[in-house]
Chain A
Amino acid sequence: MTGPEIEGSLAGAPADDVVAVAATCKARILEREGIAMFLALHDARPGRALRITDETVLAEGRRLADLFDHYRSGLAVAALDAALRDAAVEGDATDATPADLDPTGAAELIDILVVLSDQHLRARPESSSNGDS
């Protein structure tokens, strides 16, 4: 499929240059732009679990998981490159705790979700015929 209807959707093709997409996402102005995110649903009640039975949602979930793998792999390669670069530079000692350095506690996962969601959820009204409907 091609065309504006699948842009910004799970039906769209995954981005080839994941690192470039990640760089674009980093440049977004978080304080005034809408940041799209695919989030997980979890049932944290004791003894409970969420079991989706809706086939349409399950099919979307499988596609989402495949796309997640694609972006995870792409970012893992980039992270390895960055780690190799950092290893060649002596860093400064710091008193910062892990929570100070990553207050979200999920930096790696968030990076994947941001890129995935930018490509398959972020609004693209400029390319749509019904963006103002």
Chain B
Amino acid sequence: MSITTPDTQRTAFSSGAFLRVVNWHNTPEAERATLRSELAWYASRYDPVRPEDLDRLFDTGRWHGTKPGFIPSFYDGYLNNFTVAAPVCDELGLTAWFFPPTGFLSVPADEQRAYADAHDIDLVDEERHQTTLAMTWEHVEVISRRHVIAGHTAHHTQARHVVTGQDADREVLTPVRQIEEVTGRRPPAFAWLYGTPFDRDSAAGRALLDAGIRYAVSNTAYQRIAD
């Protein structure tokens, strides 16, 4: 059954199976005040969602918080996610979920602009000529102390391009292993480029299961795929 039809989405909503998410990509310094005021607005109305909160909701059918939950998500491993988004979330006491494509983190600084351009990682104009564009693995470790680090492939890849075992190793198993080595925790969630949903029968879907991922994150849903 496809989960990406309006009818299935409506059915999920009407049965209370929904989640509030706000997705950011770049969080440049120029947007710090806006980001802070928006996140403060959310924090005044919603409680952040940690992986164990989602686990509990799936296990019990009940939300434990006094306010509804929401997930602030930051995609693509930009340096500005470390220098701006993470500190703002820290200041507000919010738990955010970061989705870095791990290949970007390992590219030498002077090659990051070309790498971003070649891998659908959009840059904001004021940062295009910055020396460094990606966060480092050291930054990932620091962020992970208070936030969630999730998988987002190695090279910002679509699920449909993961066909062989080699593809699965490069885009799923290795990134998940690297994140676990650096943070001490296996990523609880994983998102493909363009947010396509989990397909158990595809090489990409099997790779997520092999990697021990619990939540497949798509443009329209959080899917619990494993215990």
A interface residues, Cβ below 8 angstroms from B: 8-9, 30-45, 48, 50-54, 56-58, 60-62, 64-65, 68-69, 72, 99, 103-106, 108-110, 112-113, 121, 123-125, 128, 130-133
Instruction: Check A40 against B6 for contact (C-beta < 8 Å).
Output: no
What are 5 sample pairs from A and B whose C-beta atoms fall under 8 A apart?
A: A34-B38, A37-B219, A39-B218, A50-B58, A64-B13
- B108 CB within 8 Å of chain A: no
Instruction: Check B195 against A41 for contact (C-beta < 8 Å).
Output: no
Instruction: Check B196 against A40 for contact (C-beta < 8 Å).
Output: no
Give Cα A43 to B37, complex, Å. Answer: 34
A131 with B44: in contact, given A38-B20, A54-B61, A54-B63 (CB under 8 Å)?
Answer: yes
Q: Which residues of A contact B200 (CB under 8 A)?
A: 44
Picked from A60, A112, A128, the residue with its CB within 8 Å of the CB of B41 is A128
Instruction: Check A104 against B21 for contact (C-beta < 8 Å).
Output: no
Picked from B15, B24, B35, the residue with its CB within 8 Å of the CB of A52 is B15
Task: Beyond A64-B13, A106-B197, list 5 extra A-B contacts (CB 8 Å).
Answer: A34-B23, A45-B226, A45-B227, A105-B196, A106-B219
Picked from B21, B31, B194, B198, the residue with its CB within 8 Å of the CB of A39 is B21
Picked from A57, A106, A112, A125, the residue with its CB within 8 Å of the CB of B16 is A57
Q: Which residues of A contact B220 (CB under 8 A)?
A: 39-40, 106, 109-110, 113
Q: How many A-B residue pairs have CB under 8 A?
A: 195
Instruction: Check A44 against B6 for contact (C-beta < 8 Å).
Output: no
Query: Which residue of chain A lies nearest to B20 when distances are taken between CB atoms in the complex?
Result: A121
> How many residues of chain B are within 8 Å of chain A by beta carbon?
67
Query: Which residue of chain B lies nearest to A99 when distances are taken between CB atoms in the complex?
Result: B160
Instruction: Check A125 against B40 for contact (C-beta < 8 Å).
Output: yes
Interface readout for B163-197 with A: 1 if CB under 8 Å, 0 if not? 00000000000000000000000000000011111
Query: Which residue of chain B lies nearest to A30 when distances are taken between CB atoms in the complex?
Result: B25
- B28 CB within 8 Å of chain A: yes
Give Cα A56 to B13, complex, Å. Answer: 13
Q: Which residues of A contact B68 (CB under 8 A)?
A: 57, 60
- B83 CB within 8 Å of chain A: no
Give Cα A9 to B4, complex, Å. Answer: 24
A61 with B13: in contact, given A36-B21, A40-B3, A99-B160 (CB under 8 Å)?
Answer: yes
Among B37, B123, B160, which residue has the most Cβ atoms of chain A within 10 A?
B37
Query: Which residue of chain B lies nearest to A62 when distances are taken between CB atoms in the complex?
Result: B14
Q: Which residues of A contact B206 (CB under 8 A)?
A: none
- B104 CB within 8 Å of chain A: no
Give Cα A30 to B5, complex, Å. Answer: 23
CB distance from B34 to the nearest CB of A (A): 8
Enumerate B1-54 residues with CB–CB distance to A below 8 Å. Answer: 3-6, 8-10, 12-28, 31, 35-45
Instruction: Check B18 against A38 for contact (C-beta < 8 Å).
Output: yes
Instruction: Check B221 against A41 for contact (C-beta < 8 Å).
Output: yes
- B223 CB within 8 Å of chain A: yes
Instruction: Check B224 against A45 for contact (C-beta < 8 Å).
Output: yes
Give Cα A79 to B115, complex, Å. Answer: 37
Instruction: Check B21 against A37 for contact (C-beta < 8 Å).
Output: yes
Give Cα A110 to B224, complex, Å. Answer: 20
Instruction: Check A51 against B21 for contact (C-beta < 8 Å).
Output: no
